[in-house]
Amino acid sequence: MSIELEEIAEFLKQHHPFDLLPDDVIESLPKRLTARYFRAGTKVLSPEQQCLHLYIIRTGGTETRDPNGQLLARLSEGECFGVRAMFRKGRAANNITTLEDSLCYLLPEKDFHDLAGKYPQFNYFFAQMGGDRLRRGMQMIESRDDDQLKLMSVKVADLIARDLVSIDRSATILDAGKLMCDERVSCLLITQDGDEIAGIITDRDLRNRVIAQARSFDEPVTAIMTDKPISIHPDDYAFDALLTMTRNNIRHLPVLKDGKAVGMITTNNLLARQSLSAVYMAGKISKLNDPADMAKVIAQVPELLSHLIEAGATSQNAGHIVTTLSDAATVRLLQLAEKKLGPPPVPYVWMAGGSQGRQEQTAISDQDNCLILDDAYVEEAHGAYFKALAEFVCDGLNDVGYVFCPGDMMAKTAEWRQPAKVWQNYFNKWIEQPEPKALMLCSVWFDLRPIHGTKSLFDDLHRIIVSRAKDNRIFQAYLVGNAMTHHVPLGFFKNFVMIRGGEHDSTLDLKHNGVVPIVDLARIHALANGVDEVNTFDRLRAVKAFPSISTQGASDLLDAFEFISITRLKHQVRQIRQGHAPDNFLHPESLSAFERTHLKDAFSVIKNLQSALETAFGKSGT
């Protein structure tokens, strides 16, 4: 490759998402590009104009405005435009005008889709950025009767929550750390000559650039700061802020007016406005006395979920927030039960399993829960109390909207309402003498999270689960065998294999064929490596460091999980909006061709990692 083409490849490697592509692919890209030059003020694209290339800005900058002239984004070196045209059969959606003289590299539509088809992370970046986030933004403008947060209409200035915390560039790292601690902030602006911004440091910098490098705290703070941070203007819209942060993968964004810092916004600011209503709902639940009233609040969960998804929450965010509400309902029901039945005769802890345990609930969730009792428990003396307690709470949850678990994995079943030593025996048996059938049923118990009561009761049990499961290869092999029973719906030629006949004819079951296999994979890798997280995202992030799965494999699974989960959530939101009951059965035709491609990729990621798992842990059931 010539020096000049190498330079183009170098340039691409430095910019997201091209940096996610394998080196040999990046090196093959320059040959497919065309360079075009636009002087400042040139209208490069206008709505509905044919656009058969993805434009990558090499030098210069552009502005994106919607057909009504509303500013959507300002792009600079290394960023791409024409993204939406790639998802609209080559028709541009917005106005793109150069702000400076700009040199652009043009990637043909076909090559773009080839890359997007082959590399899920590459795909995901653009699906997020062009396909979805913008589309969501547009939807939000359109839904007028919606008084929730409108990222498109809220100004950055309105989001600034507190006075800015800054320190002069002459300060040491220690000074900066102390100030951050005193002010309880996660990032600090470094200023010079009064208000002028010199840089920024975050918690992450203190970890990565100070502790990890064993740097002296007496060094100047300038040694670890990020120079000239990306910033935003107070008059920009919250939506721009979200776009900027997502695009640059940053969580703190200084707000600058006339070159002076006036505030700081964080991803938390943006999401807090959404979660507010969830916090309010949880607060309301904790004051109610009647499951019927709680049901009215929980009935708003689908609506909440729609708002969260439209505001750009990830599926992990959404899962956390939605689960917070079932936690609140559970806790409240337990309080009411104790009020009615009197204080518990022996300590207990109420545990959530399954999706509530993993904090991955969606618009529809049933209940999986159990009771761990203190070893002082005597059935004859205390059995009736806990039976009544469990029935009160499980029936209450059912009334509130969390329907009974079809497998009876609930505290109201005597088997799952036992003292800690019995639970220890259960787990010993499952781990030491695994039986495939029993394991399949009890996988929900490997995702336990304490909700209410004496949480230390769970500690010993938890230690046993984590340490025993880690050392037992036979148990792991059985789990693998179980995981393999969930096939991804892909045929030999990477076509979708859909459900045939019945109520859900020609659909894909996103839960059992998409979400569950990944949850299973994450659980196995977590248990095999002694990772004690239960949330699937947390598990996958934690297992990256272990040899049982490649870092790339774990990252791919994270992407696939997010994509399938968000596709499932969006499907449910669509059903809710249309007045239907949400489910997990998706008609692939309801997706764009691009989303379909991506979904197939996500499924093949699962397939590949299932095979890798079999290789790593050995075939099971033999």
Partner 1 sequence: MGLRQKITDSQFYRDLVQRRATGALRTYYDVPAADPTRPIMDTEFIALDLETTGLDPKRDEIVSLGWVIIRQLGVDFSSCEHILVRPTKELTESSVVVHRIFDSDVANAPNIKAALELLLPQMAGRVLISHHAPIELGFLGHACKRCFGAPLQIPTVDTLVLGLRDLHRQGQPFKSGALKLDNLRRSHNLPPFRAHNALSDAIAASGLFLAQVSKRDPKGVLELRRVLR
Q: How far is the CB of 272 from partner 1 (least distance, A)?
A: 40
- Amino acid making up residue 203: D
Q: How far is the CB of 45 from partner 1 (least distance, A)?
A: 15
Q: Which stretch binds partner 1 (CB under 8 A): 28-36, 501-509, 592-600, 604-612?
A: 28-36
In the complex with partner 1, which residue's Cβ is closer, 35 or 414? 35
Task: Identify the residue whose tokens are 């209410």.
Answer: 452
Q: Does 99 bind partner 1 (CB under 8 A)?
A: no
In the complex with partner 1, which residue's Cβ is closer, 36 or 574? 36
Q: How far is the CB of 44 from partner 1 (least distance, A)?
A: 12
The helix (run of H) or strand (run of E) holding residue 190 is strand 187-192
Binding residue (CB under 8 A) for partner 1 from 63, 101, 175, 293 = 101
Binding residue (CB under 8 A) for partner 1 from 62, 64, 94, 102 = 102
Q: How far is the CB of 110 from partner 1 (least distance, A)?
A: 13
In the complex with partner 1, which residue's Cβ is closer, 100 or 303? 100
Q: Does 31 bind partner 1 (CB under 8 A)?
A: yes
Rg, Å, the chain Cα set: 27
- Amino acid making up residue 86: M
Q: Helix, strand, coil proportions of the chain in percent (round to 5)?
A: 50, 15, 30
CB 459 within 8 A of CB 414: no
| β-pair partners for 57 | 104
- Amino acid making up residue 272: A
Q: How far is the CB of 101 from partner 1 (least distance, A)?
A: 4
Contacts (CB under 8 A) with partner 1, residues 103-162: 103, 106
Q: Does 35 bind partner 1 (CB under 8 A)?
A: yes
Q: In what order do the strands lie in the sheet with 95-98?
A: 43-45, 95-98, 61-65, 71-76
The contacts of residue 350 (CB under 8 Å, 6+ apart) are 330, 334, 369, 371, 393, 411, 450, 451, 452, 453
The helix (run of H) or strand (run of E) holding residue 300 is none
In the complex with partner 1, which residue's Cβ is closer, 4 or 258? 4
CB 510 within 8 A of CB 584: yes
Q: How far is the CB of 7 from partner 1 (least distance, A)?
A: 6
Q: Does 14 bind partner 1 (CB under 8 A)?
A: no
Q: Say how many residues touch partner 1, by CB under 8 A.
A: 26
Q: Does 42 bind partner 1 (CB under 8 A)?
A: yes
Distance, CA of 356 to CA of 540 (rounded, Å): 18
- 120 upstream amide cis, omega within 30 of 0: no
Backbone angles phi, psi at 160, to 5 degrees: -65, 120
Assign 261 to helix, strand or coil.
Answer: strand
In the complex with partner 1, which residue's Cβ is closer, 104 or 250? 104
Q: How far is the CB of 106 from partner 1 (least distance, A)?
A: 7
Q: Does 503 bind partner 1 (CB under 8 A)?
A: no
What track of x and - describes contact with partner 1 for positions 264 through 293 (by CB under 8 A)?
Answer: ------------------------------
Q: Does 226 bind partner 1 (CB under 8 A)?
A: no
Q: How far is the CB of 111 from partner 1 (least distance, A)?
A: 11
Q: How far is the CB of 561 from partner 1 (least distance, A)?
A: 37
In the complex with partner 1, which residue's Cβ is closer, 109 or 146? 109
Neighbours of 615 (CB within 10 A): 9
Binding residue (CB under 8 A) for partner 1 from 30, 82, 177, 254 = 30
Q: Which stretch binds partner 1 (CB under 8 A): 31-39, 159-167, 211-219, 287-295?
A: 31-39
Contacts (CB under 8 A) with partner 1, residues 56-95: 58-60
The β-bridge relationship of strands 252-257 and 260-266 is antiparallel
Q: Which stretch binds partner 1 (CB under 8 A): 1-9, 182-190, 355-363, 398-406?
A: 1-9
Q: Does 257 bind partner 1 (CB under 8 A)?
A: no
Binding residue (CB under 8 A) for partner 1 from 18, 38, 386, 603 = 38
Distance, CA of 504 to CA of 512 (rounded, Å): 13
- Alpha-carbon torsion (592, 594, 598, 601), positive or negative: positive
Q: Does 254 bind partner 1 (CB under 8 A)?
A: no
Q: What does the block give as tokens for 322?
A: 């939605």
**Exposed e or buried b for every residue in 580-613, given b needs 16+ CB within 10 A?**
eebbbbbebeebeebbebbbbbbbbbbeebbeeb
Backbone angles phi, psi at 596, to 5 degrees: -60, -45
Q: Does 578 bind partner 1 (CB under 8 A)?
A: no
Q: Does 7 bind partner 1 (CB under 8 A)?
A: yes
In the complex with partner 1, which residue's Cβ is closer, 36 or 462? 36
Binding residue (CB under 8 A) for partner 1 from 14, 19, 22, 37 = 37
Q: How far is the CB of 187 from partner 1 (least distance, A)?
A: 32
Binding residue (CB under 8 A) for partner 1 from 13, 16, 36, 74 = 36
CB 409 within 8 A of CB 350: no
CB 507 within 8 A of CB 587: yes
- For the chain, what is the largest distance between any 2 Cα atoms, rounded to a whole number of angstroms? 86
Q: How far is the CB of 563 from partner 1 (least distance, A)?
A: 32
Q: Does 214 bind partner 1 (CB under 8 A)?
A: no
Which residue in 112, 134, 158 sits closest to 67, CA to CA? 134
In the complex with partner 1, which residue's Cβ is closer, 42 or 604? 42
Distances (CA, A) of 597 to 359, 497, 545: 28, 14, 30
In the complex with partner 1, which residue's Cβ is closer, 63 or 533? 63
Distance, CA of 391 to CA of 385 (rounded, Å): 10
The contacts of residue 480 (CB under 8 Å, 6+ apart) are 524, 613, 614, 617, 618, 619, 620
Q: Does 15 bind partner 1 (CB under 8 A)?
A: no
Binding residue (CB under 8 A) for partner 1 from 39, 89, 339, 463 = 39
Distance, CA of 522 to CA of 30 (rounded, Å): 37
Q: What does the block give as tokens for 382?
A: 């205390």
In the complex with partner 1, which residue's Cβ is closer, 13 or 455? 13
Q: Which stretch binds partner 1 (CB under 8 A): 7-15, 83-91, 256-264, 591-599?
A: 7-15
Provide the strand spans (E) within 374-485: 417-419, 449-453
Q: How far is the CB of 8 from partner 1 (least distance, A)?
A: 7
Q: Does 55 bind partner 1 (CB under 8 A)?
A: no
Q: What does the block give as tokens for 540?
A: 């996958």
Q: Does 46 bind partner 1 (CB under 8 A)?
A: no
Q: Which residues bind partner 1 (CB under 8 A)?
A: 2-5, 7-8, 11, 30-39, 42, 58-60, 100-103, 106
